């Protein structure tokens, strides 16, 4: 796997940790989850900047956002017992299709 995709995956995982900790922090009223929010988003932005050395910002942000949305939806489903209706699943499916198209067809993305 090319290094820029490793950076991107680490960025997304960090973002998902930070976003999940947002829920657990209960509006920053709990100390440790609040610290995890800061660390998660800090790590996410750091690795996102490393990804930008290799990929254009538009493609990088589209991939990071799309993967983050999917991952947070899955975490919400299993960790916080939040449900997804058919419209949410359809919308998430379109995001996955967009990510696949960018990576398989687009000449803008660095492979």
Mean pLDDT value of segment 30-48: 97
Choose among 56, 66, 53: nearest CA to 9: 66
CB atoms within 10 A of CB 72: 20
What pLDDT is stored for residue 111 in this prediction?
54
Q: What is the pTM of this model?
A: 0.88
Digit-coded pLDDT (tens) for 78-91: 999 999 999 999 99
Helix 31-51 and helix 3-25: axis angle, to 10°?
A: 160
Number of C-alpha atoms within 13 angstroms, CB side, residue 3?
A: 6
Mean pLDDT value of segment 22-27: 92
């Amino acid at each position: 796997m090319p290094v820029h995709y490793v950076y991107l995956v680490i960025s997304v995982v960090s973002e998902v940790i930070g976003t999940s900790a947002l829920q657990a922090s209960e509006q920053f009223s709990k100390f440790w989850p609040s610290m995890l929010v800061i660390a998660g988003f800090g790590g996410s932005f750091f690795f996102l900047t490393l990804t930008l050395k290799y990929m254009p910002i538009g493609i990088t942000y589209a991939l990071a956002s799309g993967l983050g949305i999917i991952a947070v939806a899955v975490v919400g489903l299993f960790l916080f017992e939040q449900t997804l209706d058919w419209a949410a699943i359809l919308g998430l499916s379109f995001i996955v299709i967009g990510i696949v198209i960018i990576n398989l067809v687009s000449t803008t993305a660095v492979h």
